[in-house]
Amino acid sequence: MTHVLRDGDVVGRYGGEEFGIILPGMPLAHARIVAERIRATVMARDIKKRGDMGSLGRITISIGVAQFRKGEKLDALVERADACLYAAKRAGRNRVVSEDDPEFRHERSETR
């Protein structure tokens, strides 16, 4: 992930298998491009075992992208990003879904 990010961007583990990435000042459309680059970079790597360095093969990731809205609480942002992540998983995994994508908007309208 760090090969794709800028100085000042922040990566942290969020839960067991999830990561959060903060891209300060980046518009949603650009954040989606960064997420797609991360997805493609991860998918292209051959994962090795720690002990004997044997191949575990390739892995895929699903990514949800949301943008902070002025005045909102952090929980609301995380909730939207998480909803985008699960929309990506339901849409077939190994993809990026942002809050302006049809997959996300469709799911949000069904849950209301």
User: Which superfamily, per CATH, for 10-104?
Assistant: Reverse transcriptase/Diguanylate cyclase domain (3.30.70.270)
Per the DSSP assignment, residues forming a β-bridge with 11 are 21
Amino acid at 96: V
Q: What are the sequence ranges of the domains in the chain? A: 10-104
Q: 17, 18, 103, 110: which one is catalytic?
A: 17
Looking at every residue in the chain, the average pLDDT score rounds to 90
Residue 95 in contact with residue 62, Cβ under 8 Å? Answer: yes
Residue 24 in contact with residue 7, Cβ under 8 Å? Answer: no
**What global pTM score does this model have?**
0.85
* pLDDT at 90 exceeding the cut of 70: yes
pLDDT in tens, 27-36: 999 999 999 9
The per-residue pLDDT for 26 is 97
Per the DSSP assignment, residues forming a β-bridge with 63 are 96
Q: Is 17 a catalytic residue?
A: yes
pLDDT in tens, 37-77: 999 999 999 988 888 988 988 999 999 999 999 999 999 99
